[in-house]
Amino acid sequence: MRLFNLFFPPRPTSAAIAKERLKIVLAHERAGSQAPDFLPRLQKELIDVVGRYVEIRDDMIRVNLGKSGETSLLEINIEIEGAKAKATSAASAVPA
Amino acid sequence: MRGRARGREDLLAKVVVITSGKGGVGKTTSAAAFAAGLALRGHKTVVIDFDVGLRNLDLVMGCERRVVFDFINVINGDANLNQALIKDKRNENLFIFPTSQTRDKDALRREGVERVLEELKQQFDYIICDSPAGIEHGAVTALYFADSAIIVTNPEVSSVRDSDRIIGILASRSRRAERNEPPVELNLLLTRYDPGRVARGEMLTVDDVKEILSIPLLGVIPESESVLRASNTGTPVAFDEDSPAGRAYLDAVARFLGEQREMRFVQPERRGFLKVLFGRA
């Protein structure tokens, strides 16, 4: 039987898959629930500011508060690849 | 040892919320069964329906034709408590406090709920709050004043996830949390458990759910035909002591009261010759 399992590893049961998926999603959500509640506001304001200069969608900015060793890290990812620069109004209103 | 006999001074009434986040997992069934079980053990118990607008506890308890005044009437001062409380006809220790069918959930104002609960504490040993589903106003109001929470969970991914959310809300938004008092006591009640499917690897095991949620297990209620039969007739399933689900609820109540009881109904049932022949559980 063991030799058989070596060549044909048994497929995990659906219950085992459920357990793994739950563990992963809950680890993620529990970490998220401890995040300070200014993050969504920060993200929204960043979208407003960056949006004055380049065209940007809500999902192109990701804000994360993480830890790297001893230091807390505020990580801001702004994806602008392929985003069109806004030439007019807002950008030109700010003197260079 | 009867709750009432200890006197009101040294035994403060306990507020217990039956909650889950997800709908349809058996909150009302469990609230009715649990209240009935506590009453059977001699504790004066009231079960309150917090699901404003979607009243159902009255049906499950079989007193739908006796509702005159409701929770909202009492909160608004249109009726007093004793006009609204319905005395169960099967057990003298058991009372039902129905909710309003016509108002919306915002009618449950926190100060009003607090005043009613304080008044109930003068008369009862246990106040069982049947929470609505979700994590909105109604559900948070139902758990806000709780001393103890029973988290009703099905061995299924969405139910377990929502239970985890509710556990987080109990830990952060209950009155005990806000006042930095000892936290709400948490207990897991696993319902609709099918040991046969668990054995075949088709359903999360008791231990899986316990490990993921990491709260103490109060009981496992097996999937059972008797639950639907009980709600059909408006009888709390704990009054059906011949049914596996009824016995499982009575075990859970005993554990809640501090007794040690072995977990039953977690192993697949061996089907006897007659059962196979007649195909009845």
Q: Is there a contact between B107 and B52 (Cβ–Cβ < 8 Å)?
A: yes
| pLDDT confidence of residue B199 | 94
All residues of chain A having their beta carbon less than 8 Å from the beta carbon of residue B195 are none
Structure pTM? 0.79
Q: Is B157 on the interface with A (CB under 8 A)?
A: yes
| pLDDT confidence of residue B9 | 45
Q: What is the mean pLDDT of residues B179-198?
A: 96
Q: Is B6 on the interface with A (CB under 8 A)?
A: no
Q: ipTM greater than 0.95, yes or no?
A: no
Least-confidence region, from A55-64, B126-135, B182-191: A55-64
All residues of chain B having their beta carbon less than 8 Å from the beta carbon of residue A14 are 201-202
Q: For B210, which residue in chain A has the nearest alpha carbon? A: A19
| pLDDT confidence of residue A46 | 87
Q: What is the pLDDT of residues A21-44, one digit of tens each?
A: 999 989 888 877 666 677 778 888
Reported as a pLDDT band with limits 50, 70 and 90, residue B152 is very high
Residue B172 distance to chain A (closest CA, Å): 10
Percent of chain B with pLDDT over 90: 85
Structure tokens at B124: 């009862």
Percent of chain A with pLDDT over 90: 11
Using the predicted structure, report yes or no on whether residue B93 has a pLDDT greater than 80: yes
CA angle, B48 as apex, B143 and B93 as ends, to 5°? 125
Q: Is there a contact between B149 and B187 (Cβ–Cβ < 8 Å)?
A: yes
| pLDDT confidence of residue B3 | 45
**Are A13 and B198 inside 8 Å of each other by CB?**
no
All residues of chain A having their beta carbon less than 8 Å from the beta carbon of residue B212 are 19, 22-23, 26
Q: Is there a contact between A44 and A29 (Cβ–Cβ < 8 Å)?
A: no
| pLDDT confidence of residue B4 | 47
Q: pLDDT: is A64 or B230 the higher one?
A: B230
Q: What is the CA radius of gyration of chain B?
A: 18
Close Cβ partners of B93 (under 8 Å, ≥ 6 residues apart): B38, B39, B40, B42, B43, B44, B45
Q: Is B198 on the interface with A (CB under 8 A)?
A: yes
All residues of chain A having their beta carbon less than 8 Å from the beta carbon of residue B164 are 26, 29-30
Q: What is the mean pLDDT of residues B268-280?
A: 65
Mean pLDDT of chain B: 91
Using the predicted structure, report yes or no on whether residue B209 has a pLDDT greater than 50: yes
Reported as a pLDDT band with limits 50, 70 and 90, residue B6 is very low
Q: Find the CB nearest A14 among B164, B168, B201.
A: B201
Backbone φ and ψ of B26, nearest 5°: 115, 30
Structure tokens at B14: 């306990």
Q: Is there a contact between B105 and B112 (Cβ–Cβ < 8 Å)?
A: no
Q: What is the mean pLDDT of residues B14-33?
A: 96
CA angle, B278 as apex, B272 and B281 as ends, to 5°? 65
Q: What is the pLDDT of residues B94-122, one digit of tens each?
A: 999 999 887 776 788 999 999 999 999 99
